[in-house]
Chains A and B, each alone.
Chain A
């Protein structure tokens, strides 16, 4: 992203509550957060969400959360805190809506607050039930609240929300959207009056609400919101969302920048949002959510994705990176469309080419080739055997999980960059992590690029 953050910075300086919260302040990236997945139920349907998986906008696609009961969630926090002492933020963001699961959400927040004084508790909600729970949230110590408000016009809302569940009924179309918007704005006002710092997320959907973000920004400003995060729509057919299947496109970087500029007239904008999953752990950009919730702090928690980074297992200290690129220039190819991968070997000294791998040559064998079990994706995964990291523009949920299971860490963070710049970025982070692990040999969490 890398947009300007200047309006945000001045707000943050004035507000100490924001300064140590990585979601609110770009400067707080050294502080870590944990999202506890205790809220599976949802009370609205968004066209960018497929409830088979975590919400693809509030939560990055890739891993379906293992749901936790409140007591398990508090225990998970305790263990993560022991491993990552800079964990300063505990958030509840789903995978459904926290306030569609108020008992579980409040019980979890209470349990965590009991364990720790110096912690930011935060909740991310669609706002439908917020007005009913704003006071209770404040009472358990929630200071940071995020509401996703995509529009303040029911005609637009009807194109985003096919239905909501409210007052014991399923409301559809304009009626549902109007009810949601009214309740969101009332909830925002109530939360701001309770003294909570309210951030508004707006998913930018080209052709639907892109002309409307300035109106949203001005209205939420009036009702007491502190910060605005205009996020690009994530819509891929393989996520199975309405927008994904109907071919609704995501905004371009230019459209996103323009929307943020227009919204920035009335609201401080943030641009460093990583669209974390509902079970995210660690510092922004360093997802460590594969921490085994049952493992004790002393156990080796760095399995799987970080295996290629551990010097003791790989004395030559090299990282093999595969790239999916259409013309060998940019990180611009969907994993599922790749027919070949460009391979590079990264060492501390430099970057060198390795032979390309053709997907078709890695057919996983006759047993799997004969019937419907055979798929190009399985072949592509087979082609990446021994690779530590994959850079591509997009990646479906199934392949993401399958790659992780094979020890390949996928990343879509470098989309649009030249291969050279991306590899240099990966190399710099990796070398830094090696230096870090030499200093803190037993601390493998946070070493994942």
Chain B
């Protein structure tokens, strides 16, 4: 029983600050959840803390790979607009990698 962090993560460090089990590590910008420490906040809080503060949809997933914050749940953007948003982001990141 543990969550994990996907490549949608922007590395803002917020989850690491609120995790009650210190389960989240940052190795040069790559955030990961230690499966042996993560309790999914059961017994600590009503809601999983990392997923409650994470600003990016689909960045935190459960064991089945399902996003705790699915597309549209945080931004409220309708689908069509989100596609534009994602294409903007991928264009920028491509330029950054040049």
Contacts and interface: CB of A to CB of B under 8 A. Distances in A.
Contacts, number: 82
B74 A45 contact: yes
A364 B77 CA distance: 35
How many of chain B's residues touch chain A, expressed as a range?
A: 20 to 34
B88 A237 contact: yes
B25 to A, nearest CB: 15
A246 B77 CA distance: 8
Interface string B1-33: 000000000111110011000000000000000
A406 to B, nearest CB: 11
27 contacts: A40-B14, A42-B14, A42-B55, A43-B53, A45-B55, A52-B10, A52-B92, A96-B14, A100-B14, A162-B76, A163-B74, A165-B14, A165-B52, A168-B18, A168-B47, A168-B49, A169-B47, A170-B53, A237-B84, A240-B89, A242-B75, A242-B76, A242-B77, A246-B81, A396-B88, A397-B92, A398-B91
B11 A401 contact: no
B64 interface: no
A163 B47 CA distance: 15
B66 interface: no
Interface string A142-183: 000000000000000000001101001110000000000000
A238 B84 CA distance: 9
A364 to B, nearest CB: 11
B61 interface: no
A163 B76 CA distance: 10
B17 A169 contact: no
Contacts of A435: none
B47 A398 contact: no
B81 A41 contact: no
B77 A375 contact: no
Contacts of A51: 10, 12, 55-56
A50 B89 CA distance: 10
B91 A43 contact: no
Interface string B59-75: 00000000000000011
Query: Which residue of A43, A240, A373 has the most chain B CB atoms within 10 A of its CB atom?
Result: A240
A175 to B, nearest CB: 14
B79 to A, nearest CB: 12
Interface string A239-264: 11010011000000000000000000
B95 interface: yes
A402 interface: yes
